[in-house]
Amino acid sequence: MTTVELSREEIEAVCLAALTVHGAAAGNARPVARAIAMAEAAGNRVCGLYYLPIFCRHLAIGKVDGGAIPEVSARGVTVTVDARSGFAHPAIAAGTPALIDLARSNGLGAMAVRNSYNCLALGHHVHPLADASLIGICVSNAPAAVAPPGAAAALFGTNPLAFAVPSKEGTPAILVDQSLSAVTKTEMILRRDRGEAIPAGWAQDRNGQPTTDAAIGLEGSLLPAGGRKGANVALLVEVLAAARLGTQHGGERFRKRRGWAAACRPIPDRHRPWSLLGRSLLGSDRQFGRLP
């Protein structure tokens, strides 16, 4: 096998060309290509080039509308974006400036994105909020693939959660992006395709029995990170990303991901509010130490 090394810019150019050839408008393809390239550059293979052929195929068969124009609306401190069956990245990018403005003006803000396609790494979407000196949180639900402890069948998705906290310079001092399953489904597929065993605690078979075989685990269900506590957080993500938006939950069959993002403005004198995602947001004056 021949190994080819590409720069992040070269990967982005390849992705942009592939997506546009398969029907995506350049303006929609560009933020998706950038997200894939940045994931690869960060070593996040489960959100990188692995998805490019899938995205191209879904463009070709009409599963995602490459020409969709996001519709942005605002009410109070909430921004709502209808992706109109298009990519999540241009939809999130379209609403983010309004989200930042609301957070700066009101001390907090929230954004809901509906009818969107796969949003890949959530950390990509909270990074701009930290760059704007905001605390950012983003969650997304996904098709059911994870069984809560004691259950044999999947109830909710990998349901990722990401947050970013700015430093005093305005750039992210902390950026965390993780699924709430013990492992991502993409990593399971990669392990299966390579014929590699998986660690105990990642998945179970159809009967709810532990397995170290990735193929059997994919036929069964993944397990939550942190057992019951992780399952509870995954359920919270389901509530915020689906139930509160009136969209389909992970147990229903759907082909589009939905996500939430929220931001809070850092307050002078070392106080920052906590934010709770939802149609209403709660703040407190819990004190944070200055981050480097």
Under the banding of pLDDT at 50, 70 and 90, the label for residue 243 is low
Provide the residue type at 34 as one letter: R
Under the banding of pLDDT at 50, 70 and 90, the label for residue 171 is confident
Under the banding of pLDDT at 50, 70 and 90, the label for residue 249 is low
Q: Which residue has the higher pLDDT, 271 or 41?
A: 41
> Out of 37-46, 222-231, 252-261, which region has the weakest mean confidence (pLDDT)?
252-261
Q: Look at residue 268 and tell me whether its pLDDT is greater than 80.
A: no
DSSP string, the chain: -------HHHHHHHHHHHHHHTT--HHHHHHHHHHHHHHHHTT-GGGTGGGHHHHHHHHHHTSS-TT---EEEEETTEEEEEEEEE-HHHHHHHHHHHHHHHHHHHSEEEEEEEEE-----THHHHHHHHHTT-EEEEEE--SS-BPPTT-SS--B----EEEEEE-TTSSEEEEEEE-SBSS-HHHHHHHHHHT-B--TTSEE-TTS-EE-BHHHHHHSEE-BTTHHHHHHHHHHHHHHHTGGGT---TTS--S-EEEEEEEEPPBTTTB------SSS------B-PPP-
Q: Which tens digits make up the pLDDT trace of 106-123?
A: 988 999 998 889 999 999
- Residue 244 has a pLDDT of 59
- Residue 257 has a pLDDT of 41
CA distance 19 to 76: 36
Q: What whole-number percentage of the chain has pLDDT above 70?
A: 82
- Residue 252 has a pLDDT of 56
Q: Which residue has the higher pLDDT, 20 or 245?
A: 20
Q: What whole-number percentage of the chain has pLDDT above 90?
A: 64
Q: Look at residue 269 and tell me whether its pLDDT is greater than 90.
A: no
> How does the average pLDDT of the chain come out, rounded?
84
- Residue 141 has a pLDDT of 85
- Residue 22 has a pLDDT of 98
Q: Look at residue 169 and tell me whether its pLDDT is greater than 50.
A: yes
Across the chain, where does the E strand assignment appear?
71-75, 78-86, 108-116, 135-140, 161-166, 172-178, 203-204, 210-211, 221-222, 257-264
> Which of 29-38, 151-160, 183-192, 279-288 has the largest mean confidence?
29-38
Q: Which tens digits make up the pLDDT trace of 54-93?
A: 999 999 999 999 999 999 999 999 999 999 999 999 999 9
